[in-house]
Amino acid sequence: MGAPIIVAQGLGKKFTLGAKREPYTALREVIGRKARALLSPGGKAKAGNEFWALKDLDFSINEGDRVGIIGRNGAGKSTLLKVISRIIDPTEGRAEIRGRLASLLEVGTGFHPELSGRENIFLNGSILGMSRAEITARFDEIVAFSEVERFLDTPVKRYSSGMYVRLAFAVAAHLEPEILVVDEVLAVGDAEFQRKCIGKMKEVSSGGRTVLFVSHNMAAIQNLCNTAMYLRHGKLVVQGNTPAVVAEYLRATDAGPSSDLAARMDRQGNGAVRFTDFTLGTPDGGELAAAQTGSAVVFRFDFQPGPGPVNNLHLAMGIDDVYGQRILHLSNETTGQVFARAQESTRISILVPRCPLLPGTYGFTLFSTVNGEVADYIFNAGTFHVESGDFFGTGRLPAGDQGAFTTEHSFILS
């Protein structure tokens, strides 16, 4: 284990909601504004307008660590990277960074739009404290990796977002910083380029350098990172080995897909059973906020039996994509599991050992019969979310734009 290269103590960042950022303010305007704030009873910012994007963060990161930073939108991930990159100052606490840091946080960050790609390579290298000779020694590798050689002498303001990201990542990764910080910006690139970048980040860390990587792509996090941090509402929930942290993130119930089905009035059936609740869970009884491609998931449905006998219970769950197209049908009749008597039961669970669905949001419809008659039918009963996962265990990320699900398969060349 390397020595700590980043140490945060009591780190916090507060923003004032509704505050306007002025590019230029004259001294007389500053004096006037301060005077009005003193004289006006309403001149001071109200506490209710303050928002803590980060609060009370304590952590350390060692040399050579590949750290995945995960959390839902608004968790404070990007704010943390900006504080570490010295783009913004913390409101409280401190973050000590040892070594040269290169960051790729937003498309175009660190580039001068009027300069060409070639000129920006040398500009970025100079900002990192490298000599012209050092930059020149890496120049050909940067150009080859970015695949923008044809446009190298074109002003970068004419680049597409994908070209921007290719060149910016190539510069950040090849100019040998001790710390490489990469935000979700890689999502702009195509799947092949993302895999190429992950491979490069692994190579960077193998040389003893540290990588901080923010992504919503759990497969990318698990493929690249040996340790992870999970942020929620600006606070550090857990830091540790990546599988354990990702599991905790997926178990988080504050944004879980639990659905109150008892209140649904748009249902059909004779009421021999009535669905009352839906949750997403794990085989050991835990709850999930999201399923993960390739991992076990349990769809749990609580139901209320009617006054009569519940014999020959049949349940079907239809899963639809975002366009309402049926992509999967789960049924106990299809599996040959017959529930002859279910009068004493109040829950039915569907175990999917390896979730085949690719990342995205899915809707589902519920249908049940008792003794061959429709008991309860709820169209568009709810939704659930699937995070990316390494289905095949190969380290290759699934192509999210190629259909809605994957399955076991192999190739034979003869």
Domains and CATH numbers, the chain: 4-34+46-251 (3.40.50.300), 259-387 (2.70.50.60)
Identify the pLDDT of residue 54: 94
Identify the pLDDT of residue 255: 47
Q: Is the pTM higher than 0.85?
A: no
Identify the pLDDT of residue 187: 60
Of 409, 283, 401, the residue nearest 353 (C-alpha): 283
Identify the pLDDT of residue 36: 60
Residues of the chain with pLDDT under 70: 1-2, 17-48, 106-110, 185-191, 252-258, 323, 397-401
Backbone phi and psi for residue 268, each to the nearest 5 degrees, phi listed first:
-125, 160
The two three-digit tokens of residue 296, written as one number:
């076990």
- C-alpha 359: how far from chain center: 11
Identify the pLDDT of residue 38: 58
Query: H-helix or E-strand containing 406?
Result: none
Give SS3 for 142: helix
DSSP 251-271: H--TT---EE-TT--SEES-S
CA distances from 321 to 325, 342, 360, 388 (A): 5, 31, 8, 16
Of 5, 11, 64, 41, the residue nearest 225 (C-alpha): 64
Identify the pLDDT of residue 234: 92
